[in-house]
A = this chain, B = another copy of it.
Amino acid sequence: MNTLKEALQSMKAPTLTEEQQMALREGARKGRIQGVLMTAAAGSGHPAGSLSSMELYLLAYGAARIDPQNPDDPDRDRVVVSHGHTSPGAYAALAFWGFVSEEDLVPHFRQAGSPFQGHVEREVPGIDWGTGNLGQGLAAGVGFALAARARGSEAWTYVLMGDGEQVKGQVAEARRIAAKERLNRLTVLVDLNHIQICGTTEAIMPADLVALWKADGWRVAEVDGHDVGALYVALREAREGDRPTVLLCRTVMGKGVSFMEGIPDYHGKVASGDRLRLALEELGASEAEAARVVKLRDAPLPRGREVRPPVPCLDAGSPLTYGAETKTDNRSAFGKALADLGARNRGVAGRTPLLVFDCDLAGSVKVDGFAAACPEGFVEAGIQEHAVATAAGAASTAGVVSVWADFGVFGLDEAYNQQRLNDINGSSLKLVLTHVGLDVGEDGKTHQCIDYAGLLRNTFDWRLVVPADPNQTDRAVRWALTEPGNVCLAMGRSVVPPILREDGTPFFGDGYSFRYGEVDVLRPGRDGSLLALGALAGRALEARDLLAREGLEVQVLHTACPLGLDPEELLPLLGTGPLVTVEDHHVDTGLGASVALILARSGRVVPLRTLGVTRYGDSGASRDVYRRMGLDAPGIRDAFLSLRASHA
């Protein structure tokens, strides 16, 4: 086995020996048996596609330089399984190469709590990206290849794909990024079995794959996907040249089991009874195996690999303080801090490289300073947000600090599912959303990202930070870039004057350091509270001044962390209210919703008014857009007064 692995990994020989090929063919036969057995034992799964990809998995995992004893080595090659439902094939290949044990795998496929899930997940060693939503694996591979290049590593990336998923737009996007960036250490194997769930690929959605991959700048080769010798030669040839290569592998759906071959029905149907017996017989296994596996299902579950986001090694520099007179926006404060970290860490041994993605908005989202200072860490990917979201997420797990800045509606609304899957994958992306809330200039409703908190609230590990001003932005950026895990920073477009203490010094200046989840007490007050999100803090302070004219002293609170509030910190600050929450976010899903959840779950009553966005906003000057939504200072004042009156 070791010699076989060495031969595949080194690719020194122009061809495999007959003996080596026989070993692989035998491995494929065994893998097929395992695939049939595990799906039968689970009573569900996708056997036929697993059988057709079997040799591709064996060869890719054989060629990849990953040590089964050390599958987390940061310099390893990476294999992405894009058609995640063919997990039985991938798992069987991992068993063949010693990543997992057959006894752990076969009986515990698709069993609640087992790492061997229906779609591949990172809990299994050798699986570097969890998939299942089709068409996304290539972008993950692009992210891995970009990360390897940024780290100066020679690691190779293999991506295995199905043919049904070839028509997903994200595939084309990822293809173009790979070609533009000349990711020559990237090899794709497409399992062309011509069958998808509802019929043949030609009937469901025709696509001229050779022409499309070629048009997007790839080297295209065609190969028999069941011929291990031919696959070896094709993989070896893919290592030459300055472009990424795709191998279009002709295969047979359900290969090796007569009644599954070429039958769409077995995409997601498992063999049982007589059919199971026949399948095992054809593959050269005994029927007794099936019973043995079913019995083993009651054995204790195997444990999965623990997936942890990597800890970056970066010098975060010193915070920059913007004084009272400064006229800048949070975007620019982000851009400045990012460029500072870029310049400060560039070329310093041991530091984690920064990789910054852009979708044709560098000047607006303020990553142009970084691009100028660190061009080698800047990826201009054009208007291709889906592929970028996945690529940036995958890269963040592979030894770089990965940053993607975009308008809110593009970075999150458009790529929500990709960010959900990044969360599932335990990635460590720094997503910077600009132009959030109503603060998009005159761009209007299609560009108003009024749902960033409402979207990320559906995930479990994304943290969201909406800074109040440039000072808090600077500190939050330095915190986020050195923090493991997915963090989203959200900010508007407009100039935001620094929040000041009553003595005129910056509130988020010297002595302040960012703490996730904190509630900032901007002003004290005994007559109730305004609790603002992000840049609305400034408007809340103005409203406080208006309320002072009415003889009221209102406390002004702010939080940058609507999804990280600690009830034990918040509730004592609220007293008996009244409380008006203030945000330019959808009124049912942002800060007000967080407060409502905390109040209702704690059984506390505080007279509450939630101010926010109650309809799609206008296209016009910011001051008009806010005024018409009732979110200017007089609107906040009036809401407070009316709430107070109704509880007098």
User: Which of chain B's residues have a CB closer than 8 A to the CB of A364?
Assistant: 197, 268
Q: A414 an interface residue at 8 Å Cβ cutoff?
A: yes
Q: A386 an interface residue at 8 Å Cβ cutoff?
A: yes
**Contact pick for A216, options B117, B207, B410, CB 8 Å:** B207
Q: A205 an interface residue at 8 Å Cβ cutoff?
A: yes
Q: List 28 A-B contacts (CB under 8 A).
A: A44-B442, A84-B446, A112-B625, A117-B444, A118-B447, A119-B446, A119-B447, A133-B410, A164-B382, A168-B173, A168-B385, A169-B170, A169-B384, A169-B386, A176-B206, A176-B207, A180-B206, A197-B364, A198-B358, A208-B215, A215-B215, A413-B416, A413-B417, A424-B446, A454-B455, A593-B593, A596-B597, A603-B647
- Chain A 79-115 interface 0/1 with B at a Cβ cutoff of 8 Å (1 = within): 0000010000000000000000000000000111110
Closest partner residue, chain B, to A116 (CB atom): B619
Q: A471 an interface residue at 8 Å Cβ cutoff?
A: no
CA distance A207 to B130 in the complex (A): 29
CA distance A168 to B216 in the complex (A): 13
Q: A421 an interface residue at 8 Å Cβ cutoff?
A: yes
User: Which of chain B's residues have a CB closer than 8 A to the CB of A455?
Assistant: 416, 454-455, 458
User: Which of chain B's residues have a CB closer than 8 A to the CB of A386?
Assistant: 169, 386
Closest partner residue, chain B, to A451 (CB atom): B458
Are B198 and A361 in contact, CB atoms less than 8 angstroms apart? yes
Are B593 and A445 in contact, CB atoms less than 8 angstroms apart? no
Stretch at the interface among A245-253, A317-325, A605-613: A605-613
Are A176 and B197 in contact, CB atoms less than 8 angstroms apart? no
User: Which of chain B's residues have a CB closer than 8 A to the CB of A208?
Assistant: 215-217
User: Which of chain B's residues have a CB closer than 8 A to the CB of A294?
Assistant: none
User: Which of chain B's residues have a CB closer than 8 A to the CB of A460?
Assistant: 614-616
Q: A150 an interface residue at 8 Å Cβ cutoff?
A: no
Q: A628 an interface residue at 8 Å Cβ cutoff?
A: yes
Are A620 and B384 in contact, CB atoms less than 8 angstroms apart? no
User: Which of chain B's residues have a CB closer than 8 A to the CB of A180?
Assistant: 205-206
CA distance A268 to B361 in the complex (A): 11
Q: A134 an interface residue at 8 Å Cβ cutoff?
A: yes
Are A383 and B168 in contact, CB atoms less than 8 angstroms apart? yes
Are A205 and B167 in contact, CB atoms less than 8 angstroms apart? no
CA distance A381 to B361 in the complex (A): 32
Are A387 and B133 in contact, CB atoms less than 8 angstroms apart? no
CA distance A44 to B445 in the complex (A): 16
**Contact pick for A621, options B112, B607, B620, CB 8 Å:** B112
Q: A72 an interface residue at 8 Å Cβ cutoff?
A: no
Q: A363 an interface residue at 8 Å Cβ cutoff?
A: yes
User: Which residue, of A112, A119, A442, has the highest number of chain B Cβ atoms within 10 A?
Assistant: A112
CA distance A554 to B642 in the complex (A): 38
Asked, given contacts A167-B176, A363-B198, A460-B616, whether A112 binds B624 with beta carbons under 8 Å apart, the answer is: yes
**Contact pick for A205, options B198, B380, B599, B608, CB 8 Å:** B380
User: Which of chain B's residues have a CB closer than 8 A to the CB of A409?
Assistant: 133, 417
Q: A63 an interface residue at 8 Å Cβ cutoff?
A: no
CA distance A445 to B121 in the complex (A): 9
CA distance A417 to B458 in the complex (A): 15
Are A211 and B204 in contact, CB atoms less than 8 angstroms apart? no
State which residues 414-444 of A face B: CB under 8 Å: 414, 416-417, 420-421, 424, 441-444
CA distance A382 to B421 in the complex (A): 21
Are A620 and B382 in contact, CB atoms less than 8 angstroms apart? no
User: Which residue, of A177, A268, A383, A589, has the highest number of chain B Cβ atoms within 10 A?
Assistant: A383
Are A414 and B417 in contact, CB atoms less than 8 angstroms apart? yes
Q: A148 an interface residue at 8 Å Cβ cutoff?
A: no
CB distance from A451 to the nearest CB of B (A): 4
Q: A172 an interface residue at 8 Å Cβ cutoff?
A: yes
Are B586 and A442 in contact, CB atoms less than 8 angstroms apart? no
Q: A196 an interface residue at 8 Å Cβ cutoff?
A: yes
Q: A73 an interface residue at 8 Å Cβ cutoff?
A: no
**Contact pick for A383, options B205, B413, B443, CB 8 Å:** B205
Asked, given contacts A204-B380, A382-B205, whether A596 binds B605 with beta carbons under 8 Å apart, the answer is: no
User: Which of chain B's residues have a CB closer than 8 A to the CB of A113?
Assistant: 618, 620, 624, 628
Closest partner residue, chain B, to A196 (CB atom): B360
- Chain A 342-384 interface 0/1 with B at a Cβ cutoff of 8 Å (1 = within): 0000000000000000101111100000000000000011111
User: Which residue, of A131, A179, A451, A610, has the highest number of chain B Cβ atoms within 10 A?
Assistant: A451
CA distance A596 to B592 in the complex (A): 11
User: Which of chain B's residues have a CB closer than 8 A to the CB of A130?
Assistant: 446
State which residues 34-76 of A face B: CB under 8 Å: 42, 44-45
Are A619 and B169 in contact, CB atoms less than 8 angstroms apart? no
User: Which of chain B's residues have a CB closer than 8 A to the CB of A468?
Assistant: none
Are B119 and A443 in contact, CB atoms less than 8 angstroms apart? yes
Are A595 and B600 in contact, CB atoms less than 8 angstroms apart? yes
Q: A583 an interface residue at 8 Å Cβ cutoff?
A: no
**Contact pick for A215, options B203, B211, B417, B608, CB 8 Å:** B211
